[in-house]
A and B are shown apart, each in its own frame.
Chain A
């Protein structure tokens, strides 16, 4: 039995992938963890706090990074994607392509290059809500802690200036894309999710300035976010007096996502707390079809609902439009059987999670359901963790990842 045949590939270094990689490596497997972004952490690092404990994701990440750095059996490849994969002979042969390393590992994150850079781009870490330099540290918790460079965004002249500004010679303008083919016994798919796009929710004002997605609200509430953690109206920077959360925005809907993402109710309740902490006088209303807060999360729901100035109204918002400087929400208050024309200054659309695998046809996605979630295929040596498998919260993703790691090791052992 070759050692390569027992090793695992984990695709995606979000919370599920990191956890799966760590659990497998700590159990003794050799693991390659690949991530398409420049840093690991994925969607969780874009959250302000987790429910129900309201703690920031960075502390959990610090522990994970320590485990990662200490473990010699994990190799992490960032800026890397699976570009081809084939199975047979009891394992997977996977071609991994890594984007050019414009910034080398000897970067000390001093920031001299950033000062030399004049080109600004939409900050992907802040979901485009703010600008950032073309060369920058992606975010304060970046690991690996080196700069990333959007080379295509700048001219050759500017690139040269940036490279010259680096006293450590860490900016390499001759860097090339690299490709390697590696053998694995099994693959853990942890390719995660993306938020359902606001552009598809025009009827809910997805194109209006003061209508934001829940994921954007997380960035807005985060100290490292575009507003430094201040919740405000994107249109004019004012504090909103009335904030509305619109649940199932594009979810449980045959015209959009046909499923429930299972976390948005809790996310909105959590964000209602962000608002009340910063703006105690703000009126917060959450419009919902059902309040889906299973298990012990029920306590979180009750705790949020008890907050003064927080109202939960049963009824899905059908239409949102501009009206006298604010926003008008058309909704039926189902319990009182009346149509409300509610007003709000800031609307948060609780958009659902779309599996990244939905429009990707990697050979390792041997089984997918109708919505694009990837399913375990133990015979093929593929297990799935986190939201790639089904919509779930961070805690569930972590539990899921442990199971996926264990199943992948079993599958790799059997196939070898």
Chain B
């Protein structure tokens, strides 16, 4: 800072700590609730210090699931696996499809190149939420309901990733492509052996964002899957909370919330540097 103002610096720390406490407090309460016995979470005030049921609750949830009519019987590991498969296919699929499309748009001249570019741009303007019913119908007609293909393929087109790669390819020196061509490398070899390694940071940044995007999908899996076998963990939680006539089994539901947050939060925190870069750059 430009001047020394100990009081202002102190205030800054104070505001930040307060901010962190407010942001993290719900997680603490949730975690604490997930370590108690159901009967301790029946009356207010609920405890604010972890209990003794941590291992027991998480074990029950992961391997047996909840006993309730709509989400019942599906162990959480199953939902976590579904979420993981969905997130990985979406993230890797988006990156792959966008990478090759951006390569074609930047490194080739072909008829309707700009038209292709604009069609890809249009996907930005058509989020699932505005075309729910007809998209559902298309997927149903293709027989993709209740399948991993139906869960992931419609989400794989990505304008943001294509734009990010395009921007990046435009900054790669032309000499590289020329040198590769003189040395006899074809376009596919150039893409694989030169462009791909150069794009490492962009790939990592996009992976973090797309993995989080995929893991956190809600509306789409909600429409796509009626079979419990394909429940994802984010949808599963909704079913655990909204039970008719009885109280939700709060400790187990809260354990599910913690487990549902863990993978995307871990990815974001472990890859924080790339994540922030990716976030700021994809939105440019």
Tell whether A and B belong to one assembly. Answer: no
B contact residues vs A (CB 8 Å cutoff): none
